[in-house]
Structure 1
Amino acid sequence: MPDFLVTLDLQAISAELAWPVAIALAWLAGELIHRWTTLPRISVYGLVGFSVAQAFPELFATESGSPVTFLANVAFGLILFELGYRVNLRWLRVNPWILVSGLMESALTFAVVYQLAHMSGVPPLTALLLASLGMSTSPAGVLRIINEQKSSGQVTERLLHLVAINSVLAVFVFKVIVGFWVFDTSGSLPQAISHSLIELVASAVLGAVFGFIVPAVLRKLGTLALDGTVAFALGVIMLVALTHAAQLSPVLATLTFGLMARHRRVTFARTERNFGAIGELLTVLLFVFAVSTLEWERVMAGATLALALLTARFLAKAAVVAAFSHVGGTSWRKGALTGIALSPMSVFVVLVLEQTKSMGIVLVDELAALAGMTLFMEVIGPIITQRALIWANETTRKEEH
């Protein structure tokens, strides 16, 4: 066989094995390092993913419509479904200060990040995009840490609800700004806002429809206790596929799906948290994928500004949630710890940006600082959340050494 054909065969085999090997390495490293140090597994997944992507960039280059990207979005959808399932709307009605604190911390974070970015010489529209993504907290990072630590209590529940609130706000504001970017030639901000509102309402309606139909089918079959988890997982896969095909928001759709399923009084076995083994596997892929999209040069170019923005974001969230703690029915200390635990943001940011690429809008080059923020928060954010929950005495998992 000619040498060039051998080379082509080896390249094809390498490309096919790249992602399975990276996921296996990340999982193994996560298990070993967590056992030795108790650091969150997802922080290790991120480090491994970034390392292999920098070492072999051609093997981990992915298009917006690639199977790996779709699987990462499915993994995120499963996590968002679980988050929505754990949000209690009745609690928000009984204690509206949780909603108020979520709105205020998101607004202050947006304002602080925008102002700091603008003062650093970032163009206004780019600064707005940074601010909109900076106000978000990644449901994937927070929920994974909560499940890994078997955490429960006031801080945990408030944290989950605040994550849901600022994730929805971040998606809305980001899409309004992207819409304004698209309509910049006409300068029609009302048109941009209405387009984003229609998109988000359609996403929420689609999620609600799934949240009504899937439980109804399960009740009709009479196999709710046995097949619920599988049915909901299939529902999430279909919902992610539909939202991408229709260019809607899979974040809001899957979150609404979980919220609707909860309030339809549908339950699935506690042993299937994280959707069992397949959910765990997809989680590893998700966190490896999130940092495989970053480039070392871009991370370094935005590192200084990224650290400044992350510090401002961290202080804004912690200060506002702490300020509303007493009126919200908890102590100042628990309020501050809840705000501190809102640190993770990486996975949310990457997948939202990937969706804009599928629409033909490439913003990564304009957001160098965001690459630095994403990498730092992929590794550091989960550790901060883990520490906050431990300091709040809400973890039941004993430390392993």
Structure 2
Amino acid sequence: MPDIQGILADMGWPLAIAVAWLSGEFVHRWTRLPRISVYGLVGFLLSQAFPDVLSSGAGSNVTLLANLAFGLILFEFGYRINLHWLRINPWIAVSGLVESAATFAVVYLLSHVTGMPPLTSLLLASLAMSTSPAGVLRVINEEDSSGQVTERILHLVAINCVLAVFTFKVVVGFWVFQTSGSLTQAISHSGIELIVSAVMGALMGFIVPAVLRRLGALAQDGTIAFALGVILLVAMARAFDVSPVLATLTFGLAARHNRVAFSRTERNFGGIGELLTVLLFVFAVSTLEWERVVDGAGLAAVLLLARFVVKAVSVGAFAHVSGISWQKGLLTGIALSPMSVFVTLLLEQTKYMGIVLVDELAALAAMTLLLEVVGPIITQRALHWAKETPKEER
């Protein structure tokens, strides 16, 4: 007799990905809702129904594949960032800095007022600063949107993600120092780690375009070369215990500015990239527990409302000086809602250090689940209201 438990354990993740993908396709065709919202909802329901089957540790193959999927998205995301545009219009960068700082301050104050310890409040505030590049880019690609709002969203997400990673690593460094008493260990998990991550990404962004130039005609489609570069970079980041988020984002930035064309026909890195995206969004909620979500729901609702208002108002306030109407500025801020995938993978990386921060942040679990499902829908609506999707332009 075959071992049913063993079969389920082996088939759990493939079946979960298949169910999530099918559900996403059907729901998207019926309702036009973003597929990734459905992936997240189905993934959470399946992980609650079969927690042992869909479990994953920090060093598991599923976690590695999720990091690779996120790395591919971050590379493509970084590739779409134009630093020259930020130099021409510095108010976009200013609005990103103000929005991130204001979000951090408001979430920290609200968390501290509700009785959270200062260090826990700092962690929650640093994560709340971020917007998920995976959620935003997936919606933009799915809707085929383009225009001022779309481009500003991409650049603002890049800014607040870099700031969120830096702040999070600094806070975790203090956490390590507080628990271990080792100042060297604390420093190694903050500034130095981020510098090494950026250098690794920049070097890969120089090497891969150089190889493609040497290949000549083969460089017309560098999809495979860039994908291999991301895989190597994520593996190196894990091996050297640095941030794959900043490394792959820097890789995309450097590759763009080395002027190697990245074929639009292979957006999302083709079929394999699409498959890994489904896994990524299912994985992002598989680490959540229903009890923790319920416990943190009240505080999460308050923090999410504050985060939503602060981001929208902060970006909207700089709309006119940066060259757009206040309505489009407000819509740009509203579109910065997704957060979950970025937060989940950032927290997973801390498990290598023996720090399980999710247990300290029940409100974060509720925020992650809600923004996994609702965040992409808000971004989609904002793009439609800004009339930057083909359907709305007609």
Q: Does 1:157 align with 2:151?
A: yes
Choose which of 69, 72, 75 in structure 2 pairs with 1:81: 75
1:153-177 CA distance string (max 9 Å, x none): 0000000000000000000000000
Q: Counterparts of 2:43 and 2:349 in 1: how far apart (Å)?
A: 20
Q: Counterparts of 1:226 and 1:93 in 2: how far apart (Å)?
A: 29
Q: Counterparts of 1:189 and 1:110 in 2: how far apart (Å)?
A: 25
Q: Does 1:11 align with 2:5?
A: yes
CA apart distance, 1:224? 3.9
1:184-210 CA distance string (max 9 Å, x none): 158788984575111101000000000
Question: Which residue identity does 2:164 align to in structure 1?
Answer: A
Change (3 A) 1:354 1:194: closer
Within-5 A mapping of 1:165-314: 165-184=159-178, 192=186, 195-314=189-308
Q: Counterparts of 1:228 and 1:367 in 2: how far apart (Å)?
A: 41
Q: Counterparts of 2:135 and 2:121 in 1: how far apart (Å)?
A: 24
Q: Which runs of 5+ in 1 are unaligned?
A: none
Aligned twin of 1:125: 119
SS for the counterpart of 1:247 is coil
Choose which of 24, 27, 39 in structure 2 pairs with 1:30: 24
Aligned twin of 2:60: 66
Q: Counterparts of 1:23 and 1:355 in 2: how far apart (Å)?
A: 23
Q: Does 1:147 align with 2:151?
A: no
Q: Counterparts of 1:397 and 1:41 in 2: how far apart (Å)?
A: 17
Aligned twin of 2:330: 336
CA apart distance, 1:222? 1.6
Q: Counterparts of 1:178 and 1:148 in 2: how far apart (Å)?
A: 35
Q: Counterparts of 1:56 and 1:24 in 2: how far apart (Å)?
A: 15
1:340-381 CA distance string (max 9 Å, x none): 000000000000000001222111110110000000000000
Q: Counterparts of 1:145 and 1:185 in 2: how far apart (Å)?
A: 40
Query: Is the CA contact 1:180–1:187 (under 8 Å) kept in the aligned structure 2?
Result: no
Aligned twin of 1:327: 321
Change (3 A) 1:20 1:93: same
Question: Which residue identity does 1:394 align to in structure 2?
Answer: E
Aligned twin of 2:387: 393
Change (3 A) 1:366 1:10: same
Query: Is the CA contact 2:145–2:389 (under 8 Å) kept in the aligned structure 1?
Result: yes
Question: Which residue identity does 1:275 align to in structure 2?
Answer: F
Q: Counterparts of 2:392 and 2:272 in 1: how far apart (Å)?
A: 25
Aligned twin of 1:134: 128
Query: Is the CA contact 2:337–2:371 (under 8 Å) kept in the aligned structure 1?
Result: yes
Provide the TM-score with structure 1 as the length reference: 0.95
Provide the TM-score with structure 2 as the length reference: 0.97
Q: Counterparts of 1:211 and 1:280 in 2: how far apart (Å)?
A: 23
- Count of residue pairs brought into register by the alignment: 393
Aligned twin of 2:110: 116
Query: Is the CA contact 1:136–1:348 (under 8 Å) kept in the aligned structure 2?
Result: yes
CA RMSD of aligned residues (A): 1.5
SS for the counterpart of 1:222 is helix
Q: Counterparts of 1:390 and 1:190 in 2: how far apart (Å)?
A: 49
Q: Counterparts of 2:48 and 2:180 in 1: how far apart (Å)?
A: 40
Q: Percent identity at matched positions?
A: 75
Q: Does 1:381 align with 2:375?
A: yes
Aligned twin of 1:363: 357
Q: Which runs of 5+ in 2 are unaligned?
A: none
Question: Which residue identity does 1:262 align to in structure 2?
Answer: R
Q: Counterparts of 2:386 and 2:183 in 1: how far apart (Å)?
A: 44
SS for the counterpart of 2:390 is coil
Query: Is the CA contact 2:197–2:242 (under 8 Å) kept in the aligned structure 1?
Result: yes
Q: Counterparts of 1:337 and 1:184 in 2: how far apart (Å)?
A: 41
